[in-house]
Structures are given as C-alpha cells and as structure tokens.
Structure 1
Amino acid sequence: MKRRTTTAALCAALLLTAVTTGAAVATGPHEGQPPREAAALTGTAGLYRSAGDDITFAFDAHLAAEHRDDPLEATGTFEFSHYLNGEGARAKAEVDCLITGGDVAVVTGVVTDSDLPGAEGRRVGVTVHDLGRHDRLGYSWAATGSPAEGGELPRCVSSAPFEKVARGTGDFRVVPWQPRL
C-alpha cells in the first residue's frame, strides 16, 4: 500500500510540474522579464594581416524589442583601431543603425572620438559575419577611402565581410533581427 501511495504522489507531482511548465512556456516570458532584444552585435576581434598590423574592432550595439521595426533606433558604440610600426589611429562611433540577418550584422555610427584628423562627425559602417572561430569583417572605408575623407555615408551601409579575424580572437555574437512583416 505504501508503494502505491508513493507512486501516486510521484505521478501527481510530475503531472503538476508538466502542467505548470507548459503554462509558463505558453504564456512567454515571466512578468517582469524584458522581452528578447530585437537585434544585437557584440564582441571583440583582431584582424589578420601578414605584415603584422595591429587591427582591432569591438562592438556593443543593440536594438531594443520595442524598436523592432526601426533599425535606426539602435543604440550603443563600436570602436576600431589600426596601427603598424607605431603609426595609425583609433576611433569610437555612436551607433545610428543596426540590421542583422542570421549570423550577419551591418552597423553604422558617427565617429565621436578619434585621433585621426577629420574623422570626428563622419559616419562609418562595419559588417560582421559571425562564424564561430572563423569570423569575418568588412568596413565601409574599404571602398570609400579613409573615414576622414569622402562623401556622407548613408545609415545602414557597409561592405562585404572580406577580412579574416586573427586566429585566437573573435568572439562576435549576432542576435538575428526578426521584424514584423
């Protein structure tokens, strides 16, 4: 009899757990939990160059859930630098657009701080392909020249991710954008 009572109690507990878990999954996030952000690009990497250039990129760009349908509402920053033999420059940009699809992200921003003369106030764009240990990256100035030169770059524009991330670097993470269509 004791065995039947224990078995019945265990079955009742399992059934209750299954019902409450199913209800929680069906209703979505628990009250008080924020919904998943609409898109994101985060992480840091160095680029590979056979000449030994020291090139780094770091991203902290986000599109909040409530702005799911407007990538121009993205926020955050990204930074990049390029040095060779002690010469080069760095820049920090304020994000003004973020669009992601699958494991690819395009982010643009206006340079707010740089030691490259003429770069501040200019928009630049970067594309990241999140491939795990073999991430790739591209940037708008590959086609337009130095970020301090050229015409005004539109928001959400960059180049194909043609550069290879240096071995042992690259922890990019892309959260795919899923706009309501």
Structure 2
Amino acid sequence: MNRRVKILAVSAAVLLTLGAGGVAVASADDGHRPAAAPVAAAEAAALTGSAKLYRPAGDDITFSFDAHLARKDRNDPLAATGTFTYSHYKDGWGGSARVKVDCLATGGKVATVTGIVTETDVPGLLHRRVGVSVHDDGRRDRLGYSWLASDPTKDEVPPCNA
C-alpha cells in the first residue's frame, strides 16, 4: 500500500444497515468532535475519531476508533494495533463493547477495521470478532458494521471484513 490514508472523525454519516432495512445518520456531538489529525509519518494508516448515529426510531448508537497501522507494516494489515468501542441502546435494551484491533485495511478513502471483543455486557459476544467499515467522502461519511447481517454470537467475522 503506497498511499497514506487519513480517516477523519465520522461527523455526518449514513449507517449502511445491510439487512436491517433502516438508515441512520451520524454526527459528532458538540464538544465531542475530535480534531482532524494527519496520519503520522511513521503510520501507513489510521482510523481515529468518534460518531453518534441517529435512527428515526430513537436508537442511541456510538462508535469510537483509535486504530493504527505502522508504516513498516503497510503490507500487513493484520499487524494493526489499537482499540475501538461501540454501544447501541434503545428503550432499556442494548449493550456495549470494547474491541482490540486485529486488522486495519485501507484503500482510497475507505477503512475496514476488525478486532476481538475484550469487554462487553452482551452475553455470548466476549472474544468474538466484529468489524466496521468507514467511507470518508469529505462531507457525509458512511459507516457499516458486520453484526447486523448475522448474529455475532454465532457467526464469526473473518479478519479484515466488515
């Protein structure tokens, strides 16, 4: 990979909900929008920032990313490091998770990050792999996540797939 990719904070996104039949819009809360940070010279790629997604039904969905791929590992996305977190709540239902990154793959303005859940309050999700993709189009970013199309407590997401 000879391009450095800078993924900015997911500030105004449309959630791609494959199989979920809904659309969600994300925007950073006032005061919670991370500053745009250039990818450090020692990094081949980074996915950093946070998003709050909105659905008409009132779901409260948040993501936060801190994933990095060192320049020396630019040909090995499985050498990525970092974490990401997410939560999804509605009407007293839902849960959250903290994920240790095991892959960060980028191309153009798209990043895909996967990792293993290290902390969660969702039964059956601990130690499972989940994935997220982000498309940074400079105006309205798109974000998709792997566990909508299947049950993450039963189906394993392959590394580097979202």
Shorter-chain TM-score: which interval? 0.7 to 0.9
Are residue 118 (structure 1) and residue 124 (structure 2) matched? yes
Structure having the higher strand fraction is: 2
User: Residue 107 of structure 1 aligns with which residue?
Assistant: 113
Unaligned runs of 5+ in 1: 1-33, 159-181
User: Residue 159 of structure 2 aligns with which residue?
Assistant: 155
**Identity of matched residues, %:** 63
User: Residue 55 of structure 2 aligns with which residue?
Assistant: 49
Mapped partners of 1:39, 1:129: distance in 2: 14
User: Residue 71 of structure 1 aligns with which residue?
Assistant: 77
Superposed counterparts of 1:1-181, under 5 Å:
35-145=41-151, 147=152, 149-158=153-162
The structure with more radius of gyration? 1
Q: How far 1:64 sits from its partner (Å)?
A: 0.5
Q: How far 1:153 sits from its partner (Å)?
A: 1.7
RMSD: 1.3
Mapped partners of 1:65, 1:118: distance in 2: 35
Q: How far 1:151 sits from its partner (Å)?
A: 2.6
Mapped partners of 2:42, 2:81: distance in 1: 15
TM-score normalised over the length of structure 1: 0.65
TM-score normalised over the length of structure 2: 0.72
Unaligned runs of 5+ in 2: 1-39
Structure having the higher helix fraction is: 1
Mapped partners of 2:131, 2:41: distance in 1: 28
